[in-house]
Structure formats: C-alpha cells, structure tokens
Structure 1
Amino acid sequence: MKRAYNFNAGPAALPLEVLQKAQEQFVEYGGAGMSIMEMSHRSALYENVNNETQALMRELFGIPDNYHVLFLQGGASQQFATIPMNLLRPGRPGAYVMTGNWAEKAIKEAKLIGETVVAASSESDSFKRIPSLSEIAVPDNAAYLHLTSNETIGGTQFAEYPTIGGNVPLIADMSSDILSRPVDISKFGLIYAGAQKNLGPSGVTVVIIRDDLAEESPKTIPAIFRYNTHTKNNSLYNTPPSFSVYMVNLVLNWIKEKGGVAQIEQYNRDKTNLIYDQIDQSGGFYKGFAHNDSRSVMNITFRIHNEELEKLFVKESEQQGFVGLKGHRDVGGLRASTYNAVPHESCKALAEFMADFQRRNG
C-alpha cells in the first residue's frame, strides 16, 4: 500500500498508527463481541472511553479542574450559534476579531442572536495578517471576545493571545490548531474545535468551557443547545458520536506517545519550515499569501506568479501522489495543510517537488 501525501484542509490526515489500531479493534472492541459503533453509549465500556478521552485532553492540554471538557455534535459551525445563544445578554455585545472566512461566519451567526461589535479586523489587508494585540479594542461591557486562532483559508495564525481585563471571557475557535502547541487554558473562558482537522475524524466537536460560563445557560433556549445540559450529563445527554470520540482517544494517545504537545509543536515547526524555506528561497517564483509574522504552522498558503502554472502545479502534484494542494475556492492559489498527523516525510517530499517544479518552469 502506498499512502498519499495528504495535505487536505479537513477532513484531514490521521496518524497511520491510529488507523491501524482502529482497524484492529473495528469489528470487536474490548472483548464485547461487537464494534464500539454498535454498543450502547450507556455501557460501562463506552463510558470508560468517554471518561478516558476527557482525562487525556486534560493531561495533554493542561486543562484546569474548573473547566469542563465536552464532546458534542454539530461542528464548529453549530458553536458559532450556540455561543451567543448561551452568553449574549441585553446591553452586553459579543466582540469579534475579524481575521477571515471563519471569523466572519461566526459573527454572522451571532448577529442573528444579539448585539455584536468588531473589536479588530484585518479585512483592509485582505486578511493576509492577524491584527496586532494593540489593535484589539474590547468594550468594557462586552459579553465576550471571540477570535479564530488559525484561519485555514488565508493561512494566518495568532502567535500569541490577548489578555483581557475585567469580566470579559476570551473565546477561541481552535478547530484547525488545537493541540498543535501548548496553550495557557486559564486565559480562556471557552475553547472549541471541530475534530476533523487536527484531533480526529469528523463528527465530534470538543468544547472546553469554564464552570461559571457553563452555568450561565439561559432556560429560554432549547435544552440541547445549553452548555449546562451537557456538563450535567457528562456529554451523554443524547447519543454521542461514539466512534469519533473513540478515534479522538486514539489520536490523544498517539500525541502522548510522541512526547506530548510541546514535542508536537517542535515537530510541526520543523516540517513546516521545509515548505516555507522553499517559498522564501524561490526568488519570487513562489510567493506566500500571509504576512511573515502571521504565518500559520497548520496551513501554508502561497501563489505562483502565473495562474496557468498553478493549474499545472496541481495537476503534476496529483500525478506524483499529492492530495489537497489546490487553494480554497474563495482565494485560489495553493495550500498545504500540515496538521499534527501529516508526516515529516510528506513535507520533505512536497519541498522537493516544489524545487523540481521551479527548475522546470522557472
């Protein structure tokens, strides 16, 4: 079997070791005589998976005891609406940092629920950069400040996070860079992430929420959308995405075996630098989309000066076993998503392909 060089933006690469482990346990899990997909979510075996996966998240991400770890459905897109439904209050707007497509989607949903303000934006720079921390202006009466830690389409990422004074919690959509680097969880009131980019397969969304925010859920919204419904029921209020949670469990164990999040961060930077170096040393043949100080370690976006060459690049790369290098339809160009599970060997192969393509077409 020859594995593809998978640079898909999501659903994205999973560790080969994880896939092989899941294959071994697919038909029968834990001596139960059935697959984990077939068993009751009320069974002791599944509850153990649920609890162990929460414990692994806490251990690897350094999550304090006064936070809940939830495994929900609906993706990050559902959280765009669930957050304002739970946390917006009259006279207290939701503040948003506008950094691109996903931040824009989040604020559009919030506007349907209540008052919003833009605390900072890089739209005037075509979302090629992350606003500096000094640009972020948060109203004193804000219900929260929301940011998107990594924008997959533009390939930009927060290098550091703002510290907010007063009673304004920081909320982050970390769908595309969760567990790619250590984070001080205590700076945040809520973190959420669709798993399908950096944590597992599609189907489960991780929500890390501080106790006090979870308890603020208003009784005027349906129970399924209240955070305290899920905290009180240990993510088992309704049937969970059990197989996806199980897969997240395997990915977390894989990260642990690799030495934890700090080791994963260094691994990511080493492999990503292979591609960025090829862009920077190309003499302008390749040009990065994002400003250097806002470059993402998860999504490398770049252009070639000629769109016909970009099409040829995609065509030839696919012939060589590369997948997912065509840029997002909204911005075009080229993109390589280098999430945790993308091997160093794949990034090395891409850098070599880029060098060869330039030699032949430069």
Structure 2
Amino acid sequence: MKSNALNFSGGPGALPETVLEQTRVAISALPETGISVLGMSHRSDWFRSILNEAESNLRALLGISDDYAITFQQGGSSLQFAMIPMNFAGRAFAPPEYVTSGYWSGRATSEAEKVTSRKVAWDGRATGYRQLPDLGQLDISNSAAYLHYVSNETVEGLQFPHCETATSVPLIADMSSDFLSKSIRPDAYSMIYAHAQKNLGPAGVTVAVIKRSLLERIPAGLPAILDFRTHVSHGSNYNTPPVFAIYVLTLVTRWLRFDVGGLETMQSINERKAKRLYDALDALEGGVTIHADRRWRSQMNVAFTFGDSRLDSAFIDAAREQGIVGIEGHRSIGGLRASLYNAVTDQAVEILANAVTEFSLERI
C-alpha cells in the first residue's frame, strides 16, 4: 500500500485517492478550461461556479439553512481566534466565555484576551487536559457575548461526544478537526468554523458558517478584511482567495456527497475505524497509555504513548518501514498520535492496529 494511504498526520492530513488524482490532472490542466488550476483567475466564471458548488455541497451535507452565511476565508483558525472577539464581543454584552480544554482552545483563549475582556468558563489544565466538561452544565452568564469551545482537540485526542447543547448565549465552535466527520445540528450554533487541512482539503482555506443575525452586532470601523460582513457581501471574493485550496475542498465535498453517501455514512465509518484502533491499544493492558480519559476519546485523533520516548521513537521507525507516516505526537506533549480523518481507510487503520500489536509483542 502506498504511503499516501497510510498517512496518519495530524494535519495537513490524508486526502481521498480520487481527490488526489483529480487534483493531479487539474494542476496540469482543468478539463473544463484547459488551464492549470494554479493559474485560474479568481474572477473567472469557472471559479464562481466552484464557490457556488462548495457552498451548495456544505449546505446539503450539513443541512444548513439560509439563516446562515457560508464564507471561505484565509488565515486558518488562528486568524479566526482574533476575528471572532473583534466582531462579536461588543460593549453591549458581558465578556465572552471560553472553554479551555487543550492546546488549541488555549490558543483561542489567549488570542481573545489580546482583543477584549474574556472569561474562562472551564479550564482542564488541572487534569492534564484529559477530560472535558458538560457544556450544558457550565455556569455561563446570560449576558455573555458568546460561548466558545473547540469540538475536538487534535493534540490531546479529546472530543466532545455531543456537539449540540442548550446554551443561553450564542454558541461558537472551532470544528477544525472533526468538521464533516459526522452529522451535527448546525442550528444549535451561531457560528462554526474549520480550517481545511484535516477533513476538508489542503491548508489555505477556512470555512466559516455564521448565523446572519449575529452579523448585526459587528461594530463599525473594523478593517475591511477583518470584518465578517466583507466576506459575506463579496461572496468570499473580496481579495484574491486561495483558488487551489477551495477547488480541492469542493472535490472533497463532492466525494462526501456522492461517493461516501453523506455524513451519516461517514460517521459510521469513522466510528468503526476509531473502535478498531482503540480496541488494539486497550488489548495491550497497560503496554500503552492513551492520553484522553475513556469517556472523552476522540474519533479523529488517538494520542498515546508506550511510556518511554525511546520506545515511541522505535515504533515510529518500525511503522515507517511499513509505509506508515505521520504518527509523531505533537511537540507540546510528545508521544504518538494517529489521526483518523475521513480519508484514512479501514484498511489503513487495520495495518496500524496490527503494527502496534506486533511491536508490543516484540519489544515490551
């Protein structure tokens, strides 16, 4: 099996083989235009059709109503960390509240503090970021500008089991690493955002789904490119957008709609993949340590360690000999991490699970 099929990287992550093949052709010349996708104008009719299709596919996959605008922006989630409080933490509201459940939500919380007063509704630092709260049980001010959380922590391998919760304030979710991996109720949120380099395509584009009524609270005077209304009113084409990244995202959403058959099917596949790997790790009975407490284990990112950095390194080398790549843990916690994004197949997970078992029997 080719290493593309055994790519467990935390991001940029694996892409479906059919998308890779279509992209290869498009880099040389798009069948529709005869011009490389890398040289296509963002003002062309072709690109407008791609933007329209990308939005249409997302609405169909997630059931997003016209009450929400969909934009394609640049800057990744890191830019959203600053834009969200700039746009939505108005003086008429109490400070926004943040759930700090891991590395990336910590980054979001820190960036917000540079822009506005903000409150930490819950912090998992004391547990070593191994657990998550029940969002519905948090003590949130009824006048808070919004509640922000990260639905899946890629570094620590934590995932909220239910992305919908009843909150008295607008709910904003960074879904960068589990967006389109399962069905959700978009109407439970005032905003969802996700950068592409997990389940959506290559780095360079970030999807933001924003309730139109939330846009009404944006203050005047923001720089145009940092104002969400700019991107909505210009149809995600205010300045030169990442044409290539949006094109590949469109291919991925086609794949999800028409090849996979929708998000309920994708969710079942992802549940099966995660179960296979976690079962293999649990069967080692202490030979490995999974970072997340069982209740909060992520279906997208499995963070674990053999308990010794030398063993972790030895497993990385042994796995590479089988073509398995991208399993190094994040620099903040070390260890190992297998990311099971949508394009990672059952067969790839089977190979990884067997590799973990064989390594444990031989070395531990």
- Distance change in 2, residues 1:192/1:271 (3 Å): same
Structure 2 residue matching 1:37: 3-state secondary structure: helix
Partner of 1:3: 3
Determine the C-alpha separation between the residues in 1 that align with 2:352 and 2:109: 36
- Deviation, structure 1 residue 335: 0.7
Deviations 1:282-334 (A, max 9, x none): 12111211011100000001111333211211121122211111111111111
Give me the whole-angstrom Cα distance separating, in 2, the residues matched to 1:313 and 1:326. Answer: 10
Taking the TM superposition and a 5 Å limit, the aligned residue runs for 1:227-242 are 227-242=228-243
Tell me, yes or no, if structure 1 residue 255 matches structure 2 residue 256.
yes
In structure 1, C-alpha distance between the alignment counterparts of 2:35 and 2:320, rounded to whole Å: 38
- Map 1:217-296 → 2, pairs under 5 A: 217-256=218-257, 257-296=259-298
1:181 maps to 182
Task: Name the residue aligned to 1:102.
Answer: 104
The answer as to whether partners of 2:3 and 2:325 remain within 8 angstroms in 1 is no
Q: Which amino acid aligns with 1:3?
A: S
CA deviations on 1:52-84 (whole Å, 9 max, x unpaired) are 110000000111111011000000000000000
1:137-195 Cα distance to aligned partner (Å, 9 max, x none): 211110000000000010000001353444x1100000000000101000000000000
Q: Which amino acid is 1:51 matched to?
A: N
Distance change >3 Å, CA 184–CA 162, structure 1 → 2? closer
RMSD: 1.4
Which position in structure 2 is the counterpart of 1:307? Answer: 309
Matched position secondary structure for 1:53: helix
- Distance in 1, matches of 2:166 and 2:118, equals 17
Moved more, 38-47 or 170-179: 38-47
CA contact (8 A) 1:97 1:136 kept: no
- Paired with 1:100 and 1:296, the residues of 2 have a C-alpha distance of 13
Give 1:17's aligned residue.
18
Give the structure 1 partner of residue 36 of structure 2.
Answer: 35
Q: Is 1:340 the counterpart of 2:342 in the alignment?
A: yes
Q: Secondary structure at the match of 2:132?
A: coil
Give yes or no for contact 2:40–2:243 (8 Å, CA) kept in 1: no
* CA–CA distance in structure 2, aligned partners of residues 271 and 304 of structure 1: 21
Q: How many residues align?
A: 361
TM-score, length-scaled by structure 2: 0.96
| Paired letter, 1:177 | D
Calculate percent identity across the aligned residue pairs: 40
1:210-232 Cα deviation digits (max 9, x unpaired): 00112332222101111111111
Residue in structure 2 matched with residue 316 of structure 1 by the alignment: 318
1:107-165 deviations in Å (ceiling 9; x for gaps): 11111111101112221111001112354221111000000000001000000135344
* Mapped contact 1:214–1:228 kept (Cα < 8 A): yes
| Equivalent residue letter for 1:178 | F
Conservation of the 8 A alpha-carbon contact between 1:215 and 1:227: no
The reply to whether residue 191 of structure 1 matches residue 202 of structure 2 is no
Whichever residue aligns with residue 342 of structure 1, its letter is V
Q: Which piece of structure 1 moves more, 15-24 or 176-185? A: 15-24
Q: Is the 8 A contact 1:194 1:205 kept in 2?
A: yes
Partner of residue 217, structure 2: 216
Contact 1:36 1:46 survives alignment (8 Å): no
* 3-state SS of 1:342 partner: coil
Match of 2:159 among 157, 160, 164: 157
Counterparts of 2:180 and 2:167, CA distance in 1: 26
Distance in 2, matches of 1:333 and 1:345, equals 24
Quote the offset at 1:237 in angstroms: 1.0
Deviations 1:239-277 (A, max 9, x none): 111110000000001111211111001101111211100
Aligned residue for 1:128, secondary structure, equals coil
Distance 1:11 1:38 in 2: 23
**Structure 2 alignment gaps of length 5 or more:** none
SS of residue in 2 equivalent to 1:246: helix
**Higher deviation after alignment, 2-11 or 200-209:** 2-11
Distance 1:47 1:268 in 2: 32
CA contact (8 A) 1:69 1:206 kept: yes
